[in-house]
Amino acid sequence: MRHNSLGRTGRNVSVIGLGTWQLGADWGEVSEADARAVLDASLAAGVTFFDTADVYGDGRSESIIGAWRRDNVGVDITVATKMGRRLPQVPENYVMDNFRAWTDRSRRNLGVDTLDLVQLHCPPTPVYSSDAVFDALDALVEEGVMANYGVSVETVDEALTAIARPHVATVQIILNAFRLKPLDAVLPAAQQAGVGIIARVPLASGLLSGRYTHETTFA
């Protein structure tokens, strides 16, 4: 498995990652044993990047990863989680008090003091232009709540606005055979800025079903 440095995180991760929405069992029953088997098989294949979110199974995905991680002490993996969908997605909810509540919950679920990477989970477009939002995220990094932060976006314009932010480490965007627009502007801008790109829904089958199980990371 090839590994790259993931943008401004400085972390060396596998170029193929594991998306773990399915571990939350939002799409159907997934036993904890089966979920752990997925994580074991991914690690055995050289995958060292797991992508989750606080709303996947209302935290079940995070909790399973946290328990699995405790049973695999010393394994060098990076876990990216997301926040922002536990309340209505309006700009007024993207404030420090909510960020603290969301990240504290994710830290408990994942069993860590410092989250590896936290992504805003496809927030409303005005959030990307809010200095207060990114000042709050910077403060949480300084406090050690998270090591790095990024954004999961819906559009190319949102991605470009995020890339221009000096401390955004990663941008997650849909990129596959049917959604190639990011290749024209987002990837070159990210490469120039040193921002990591996480391609979500990279497989055509994932796009058509509306879910994904793999991520692809680019330096």
Catalytic sites, residue numbers: 56
Q: Are residues 80 and 54 in contact, defined by beta-carbon separation less than 8 angstroms?
A: no
Q: Are residues 71 and 40 in contact, defined by beta-carbon separation less than 8 angstroms?
A: no
Rounded to whole angstroms, the Cα distance separating 122 from 153 reads: 5
The owner of tokens 């000042």 is: 135
Element (H, E) at 196: strand 196-200
Specify the pairing of strand 16-19 against strand 49-51.
Answer: parallel
The residue among 161, 190, 51 whose CA lies nearest residue 117 is 51
3-class secondary-structure state, position 219: coil
**Residues in contact with 213: Cβ distance below 8 Å, sequence separation at least 6, in sequence order:** 18, 19, 21, 22, 203, 206
**Residues in contact with 193: Cβ distance below 8 Å, sequence separation at least 6, in sequence order:** 163, 164
3-class secondary-structure state, position 179: strand
Neighbours of 197 (CB within 10 A): 24
Q: Taking the mean position of all CA atoms in its chain, how far away is CA 132?
A: 21
